[in-house]
Chain A
Amino acid sequence: MNIFMRFYHRLASPRHFYQIAGQWIPWLGAISLILLAWGLYEGLLVAPTDYQQGESYRIIFIHVPAAWMSMFIYLIMAIAGAINLVWRMKMAEVVLVSSAPIGAVFAFLALVTGSLWGKPMWGTWWVWDARLTSELFLLFLYLGIIALHGAIEDKRTAGRAVSILALVGVINLPIIHFSVEWWNTLHQGSTVSVMGGSKMDSRMLRPLLIMSFAFKFYYGMILFMRARNEVLDRERNTSWVRQIAEGKAS
Chain B
Amino acid sequence: MTPIRKKRLMLVGLMVGAVGIAAALALTAFNDNLMYFYSPAEISAGEAPSGHPIRVGGLVVEHSVNRQDDGLTVAFDLTDNNKTIKVNYTGILPDLFREGQGIVALGSLNDKNVFVASEVLAKHDENYMPPEVADALKTAHNDGIAQQAARSLAQ
Contact = CB atoms under 8 A, between A and B. Distances in A.
Interface of A: 48-53, 57, 60, 82, 85-87, 120-124, 127-130, 164, 167-168, 170-171, 175, 182-186, 188-191, 199-201, 203-204
A49 B121 contact: no
B120 A123 contact: yes
B133 A201 contact: yes
Contacts of A190: 126
B12 A85 contact: yes
A127 B120 contact: no
Contacts of A201: 128-130, 133
Contact of B128 (A50, A123, A127): A50
B37 interface: yes
B15 A168 contact: yes
Contacts of A171: 16, 19-20, 23
B114 interface: no
Nearest to B16: A167
B15 A164 contact: yes
A48 B15 CA distance: 48
A130 B31 CA distance: 10
In the complex, the 4 A-B pairs of residues with the closest C-beta atoms, listed nearest first: A123-B94, A48-B130, A51-B134, A129-B36
A182 B24 CA distance: 12
Nearest to B128: A200
A49 B134 CA distance: 11
Contacts of B86: none
A186 B36 contact: yes
B131 A49 contact: yes
A52 B138 CA distance: 13
B124 interface: yes
Interface residues of B, number: 40
Contact of A124 (B37, B95, B121): B121
Given A85-B12, A171-B19, A186-B36, A51 B133 contact: yes
B12 A167 contact: yes
B40 interface: no
Contacts of A120: 94-95
A109 to B, nearest CB: 20
A23 B130 CA distance: 43
A50 B134 CA distance: 9
B124 to A, nearest CB: 6
Contacts of A183: 31, 34-36
For A82, A170, A186, A204, the residue with the greatest tally of chain B CB atoms inside 10 Å of its CB is A186
A77 to B, nearest CB: 14
A14 to B, nearest CB: 21
7 contacts: A48-B130, A85-B8, A120-B94, A120-B95, A167-B12, A167-B15, A188-B125
Given A123-B94, A183-B35, A175 B23 contact: yes
A48 B9 CA distance: 50
B154 to A, nearest CB: 34
Contacts of B95: 120-121, 123
B36 A188 contact: no
Contacts of B129: 48, 50-51, 200-201, 204
A232 B136 CA distance: 60
B91 to A, nearest CB: 10
A191 B128 contact: yes
Nearest to A131: B36
Nearest to A132: B36
Given A52-B125, A121-B96, A167-B15, 8 more contacts: A50-B131, A51-B131, A60-B128, A122-B94, A130-B36, A171-B20, A183-B34, A201-B128
